[in-house]
Amino acid sequence: MSQRDAVVIGSGIAGMAAAIRLAIQGFRVQVFERNAHPGGKLSLIEKDGFRFDAGPSLFTQPYHLTELFEMAGVPVDSYFRFQNVPLSCKYFFENGKRVHAWTNPEALDREMQEQLGERPGSVIRYLEESKRLYESIGTIFLNHSLHQLGTWLQRSVLNALKVVKWPYLMGTLDQWNRKAFQTDEAVQLFNRFATYNGSNPYQTPGMMSLIPHLELNEGTFYPQGGMISITNALYQLALQKGVEFHFNQPVERILYEKNAIQGVIVQGDTVRADVVVSNADVYFTYQHLLQETVKAKKIIKQERSCSGLIFYWGMNREFPDLHLHNIFFSDSYKEEFQNIFKLGTLHQDPTVYINITSKMEADQAPPGKENWFILVNAPSNQGQDWDVLRKELRARILQKLSRILNTDVEAAIETESFLDPILIESRTGSYMGSLYGTSSNSKMAAFLRHANYSSSYKGLYFCGGSVHPGGGIPLCFKSAKLVGDLVQKDFQKR
């Protein structure tokens, strides 16, 4: 049988992972990327001696990456190294309380007893339930296509569904957490995990209580060289497996004939392919690449996930109170999410996340200095005046951090860059600048996410944060695996 051709649109994490899987299957794979570099959101900013991971900053479930190297028969240590980080995050509350979130349930339970007055054993019980939920229901939802009947007929799936509790589906994450903890601070800390897929804890189902398992039971990790090393490792592995990359070459159209994929058009030329995998935003794929306006409009009827406003600050000194991951909570968390999802604006008292990779590797910043990645959740772009919102937000962040850290933070800023929803959309193709495609703020959100395959066009597949199973690095890897498995199954029939 002659070698088959595959085209991957976009070189984000999911796109490169899918390209590697198809190359291992024997496809001749070409990746077309609109930008001058691979990685999508997972890129790098270098300025005045400071290095900033431009996008995702939390690394969990490293086995998704190491699995690809094992499949390819390539030693992962030659391209990628990482280490465990026992302290997942430092939490700062407006009332002066602080919590060290250890990736050890017993240690975290003691910490929350001592710092918050939480009941003994509450964290342990919560994380045991989180693990049970992830390993039963979570693995079904995340590792299988929800859009194929065969998934629901498997015995393992039927058995897993028996453990579903009513509050998982009908109650919100906030309601679930309020039953588990007695202190407002503990509830807020665990509500925060809804933001891992760009959702609202006061709307998203209690099922999302499985998310803390990934971080607080399985652990958090730091990749040597920063998050960009994930991009670099995947790119090098793809090259080694024969994948061909074309940068600064956006795909203009996806070609099909009698509902079967024929290839793509790039710079006016036709590139033939038996398989096309779109790692582009699924709305963009239908609206522009397939010119299916009706289907595109159906997709955008679903609520978009939140976006973000990001500042990259090179600081002229070190801050011993801070760690790799840090959260400064809003004192009115529910109002903050109402502003984001209902009013389409920012809150007066934002929750501020700071990532500082120089805490792990000194060479990420000049000697004696730190590289701050500051993220505040923001609404998707709906025509807001982002210049005004950004300036107002910057002032609020500085006031908040200076007060809590008891120092003049602005005086320490040596260099600065930013990213807003408009720039996120223009640089990554994420419609409206939403970081995770659609939100998970409804009970049916998991089923409404677009499948990893097209039911209309034979040979067309989808991966990345805008389709099943969702956004974030682990789920992007999972979407690539789903695509690889679907392609292998479909082409075994031919």
Q: pLDDT tens digit string along 392-437?
A: 999 999 999 999 999 999 999 999 999 999 999 999 889 999 988 8
Looking at residue 162, what is its pLDDT?
A: 61
Is the domain of 214 the same as that of 109? yes
CATH of the domain at 169: 1.10.405
Average pLDDT of the chain? 93
Q: Which of 153, 183, 218 is a domain's end point?
A: 218
Q: Residue 149 sits in which domain range?
A: 104-218
SS3 (DSSP) at 50: strand
Q: How does residue 1 score in pLDDT terms, banded at 50, 70 and 90?
A: very low
In a domain, 193, yes or no: yes
Is the domain of 111 the same as that of 205? yes
What CA–CA distance (Å, rounded) separates 189 from 192? 5
Looking at residue 261, what is its pLDDT?
A: 97
Taking only the tens place, the pLDDT of each residue in 92-121 is 999 999 999 999 999 999 999 999 999 999
Q: Are residues 247 and 36 in contact, defined by beta-carbon separation less than 8 angstroms? A: yes
Is the domain of 33 the same as that of 137? no
Is the domain of 233 the same as that of 203? no
In a domain, 364, yes or no: no
Site of tokens 């703020």: 441
SS3 (DSSP) at 98: strand
What CA–CA distance (Å, rounded) separates 391 from 109? 39
Instruction: Supply 365's token pair.
Output: 């910043």
Burial class for 74, CB neighbours closer than 10 Å (0-12, 13-18, 19+): middle
Instruction: Supply 349's token pair.
Output: 């008292």
Residues in the chain: 494
Q: Are residues 438 and 475 in contact, defined by beta-carbon separation less than 8 angstroms? A: no
Is the domain of 116 the same as that of 202? yes
Angle, helices 122-133/173-180, rounded to nearest 10 degrees = 140
Looking at residue 153, what is its pLDDT?
A: 58
What CA–CA distance (Å, rounded) separates 487 from 4? 12
What CA–CA distance (Å, rounded) separates 129 from 44? 37
What CA–CA distance (Å, rounded) separates 355 from 364? 12
Q: What is the model's pTM?
A: 0.94
Instruction: Supply 326's token pair.
Output: 């840090």
Site of tokens 């503990």: 186
Instruction: Supply 384's token pair.
Output: 């807001």
Q: What are phi and psi of 213, to 5 degrees?
A: -55, -40
Is the domain of 108 the same as that of 15? no
Taking only the tens place, the pLDDT of each residue in 254-286 is 999 999 999 999 999 999 999 999 999 999 999
Is the domain of 202 the same as that of 254? no
With a CB cutoff of 8 Å and minimum separation 6, the contacts of 183 are 112, 116, 117, 118
Q: Which of 218, 247, 265 is a domain's end point?
A: 218
In a domain, 413, yes or no: no
Pairing of strands 244-246, 28-32: parallel
In a domain, 469, yes or no: yes
What CA–CA distance (Å, rounded) separates 161 from 159? 5
Is the domain of 211 the same as that of 266? no
With a CB cutoff of 8 Å and minimum separation 6, the contacts of 319 are 356, 370, 405, 407
Is the domain of 35 the same as that of 114? no
What CA–CA distance (Å, rounded) separates 256 from 459? 9
Instruction: Supply 341's token pair.
Output: 């999802």
Q: How does residue 159 score in pLDDT terms, banded at 50, 70 and 90?
A: low
Looking at residue 448, what is its pLDDT?
A: 72
pLDDT average, residue stretch 220-228: 97
| Angle in degrees, CA 320, 324, 329, rounded to 5 | 85
pLDDT average, residue stretch 112-138: 94
pLDDT average, residue stretch 437-446: 70
In a domain, 356, yes or no: no
SS3 (DSSP) at 254: strand
> How many C-beta atoms surround the C-beta of residue 85 within 10 A?
19
Distances (CA, A) of 234 to 11, 39, 79, 226, 393: 10, 9, 9, 14, 35
What CA–CA distance (Å, rounded) separates 17 from 148? 23
Is the domain of 33 the same as that of 129? no
Taking only the tens place, the pLDDT of each residue in 47-95 is 999 999 999 999 999 999 999 999 999 999 989 999 999 999 999 999 9
Looking at residue 88, what is its pLDDT?
A: 98
Q: Are residues 221 and 61 in contact, defined by beta-carbon separation less than 8 angstroms? A: no
Q: How many domains does the chain have?
A: 2
Q: Which of 43-47, 133-137, 372-376 has the lowest mean pLDDT?
A: 133-137
> How many C-beta atoms surround the C-beta of residue 323 within 10 A?
19
Q: Which of 170, 189, 218 is a domain's end point?
A: 218
Cα atoms in the 13 Å half-sphere on the side-chain side of 75: 2
CATH of the domain at 467: 3.50.50.60
Helix and strand totals (H; E) in the chain: 19, 19
Q: How far is CA 444 from the centre of its chain?
A: 20
Q: Are residues 278 and 460 in contact, defined by beta-carbon separation less than 8 angstroms? A: yes
Is the domain of 157 the same as that of 134? yes
What CA–CA distance (Å, rounded) separates 396 from 379? 17
Q: How far is CA 448 from the centre of its chain?
A: 18
In a domain, 420, yes or no: no
In a domain, 263, yes or no: yes
In a domain, 79, yes or no: no
Is the domain of 213 the same as that of 108? yes
Maximum distance among all alpha carbons in the chain? 69
Distances (CA, A) of 423 to 52, 386, 428: 16, 10, 8
What CA–CA distance (Å, rounded) separates 269 from 97? 61
